[in-house]
Amino acid sequence: MKNIVLIGYMGAGKSTVGIQLSDRFQIAFEDTDQVIEKRQNMAVSEIFEKYGEESFRTMETELLAQMAEGKGRRVIALGGGTPMRFENRERIKALGIVIYLRARPDTIMERLSGDTSRPLLRGGGARQKIEQMLKERGPVYESLSDLTVDTDGKAFENIVDEIGGFYEAACNKRTEP
């Protein structure tokens, strides 16, 4: 049985969808940002300020390696930047069925409006930053995913149904003779 691995840009809904999927399948939910924050006893933004982005990226890579050892089926939400380190990509694929939650810049702007917890979007020009990063990241997210789900204008409930159906089918396919 495989894990469900959620990837995608900030504000795509990975945490919300992840929690709902974990409820639906009665399996644990892990969010890499939350695990790192707990370990460091600091918010991601503070980690960026105190140690710099590269140190945070190394924490993500180390955590990913540890997650491969984890027991039991889980839903895992990865930070939006995790797939961008080349060395993380094989690990992400090996972790389970990878779902890309895709969102357009407008949707991201809307979902993140008033949010100050994302250090990469601070300092103005958020829309331009989002567009630029999506250009770089979109193809990487696509290349890793078993399923891409467009989230724009969709209720989380419908997104969860779509992923749930795909996941069940994928698990059944694997157990057929």
| Shortest CB 169 distance to ligand S3P, Å | 27
Distance CA 150, CA 18 (A): 15
The smaller minimum CB distance to ligand S3P, of residues 114 and 177, is found at 114
Q: Which of 133, 25, 142, 148 is nearest to 81 (CA)?
A: 133
The smaller minimum CB distance to ligand S3P, of residues 133 and 160, is found at 133
Q: What is the DSSP string of 65-77?
A: HHHTT--S-EEEE
| Shortest CB 164 distance to ligand S3P, Å | 21
The smaller minimum CB distance to ligand S3P, of residues 84 and 147, is found at 84
| Shortest CB 4 distance to ligand S3P, Å | 16
| Shortest CB 154 distance to ligand S3P, Å | 18
Binding site for ligand S3P (CB under 6 A): 10, 14, 33, 44, 79-81, 118-120
Q: What is the DSSP string of 124-174?
A: S-HHHHHHHHHHHHHHHHHHH-SEEEE-TT--HHHHHHHHHHHHHHHHHHH
